């Protein structure tokens, strides 16, 4: 599903204008991202938890030159843990 399709679904279910529905979706995503950047988790009961995890530095093989090793620095990466209702819904779909 693309953002435009999500906006259309929100419009159908809420009766909001296209501009308002798009603004709501943008605001929700922006606030989730901002919370993750601050190191907070965002829990949406029944859906899941968004957060950020610290990935350790590591040595990998260069895919372009398999004989060469490269160092990958430590970094924060986004994470998502689905909630039990979402897991069950997907399992039974």
* 25-76 per-position pLDDT tens digit: 999 999 999 999 999 999 999 999 999 999 999 999 999 988 899 999 999 9
Q: Residue 93 above 90 pLDDT?
A: no
- pLDDT band at residue 90 using 50, 70 and 90 as cut-offs: very high
Return the pLDDT at 36: 94
Whether 69 contacts 62, CB under 8 Å:
yes
pTM of the model: 0.78
Its CATH class, for the domain covering 3-91, is few secondary structures
Give the ranges where 1-93 is alpha helix by DSSP (H). 3-14, 18-37, 84-91
CA dist., res. 55 & res. 28, Å (int)? 26
């Amino acid at each position: 599903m693309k953002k435009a399709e999500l906006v259309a679904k929100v419009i159908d279910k809420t009766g909001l204008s296209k501009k308002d529905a798009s603004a709501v979706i943008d605001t929700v995503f922006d606030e989730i991202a901002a919370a993750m950047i601050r190191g907070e988790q965002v829990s949406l009961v029944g859906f899941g938890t968004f957060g950020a995890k610290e990935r350790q530095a590591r040595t990998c093989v260069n895919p372009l030159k398999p004989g060469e090793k490269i160092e990958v620095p430590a970094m924060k990466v986004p994470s998502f843990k689905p909630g039990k209702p979402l897991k069950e819904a997907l399992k039974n779909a």
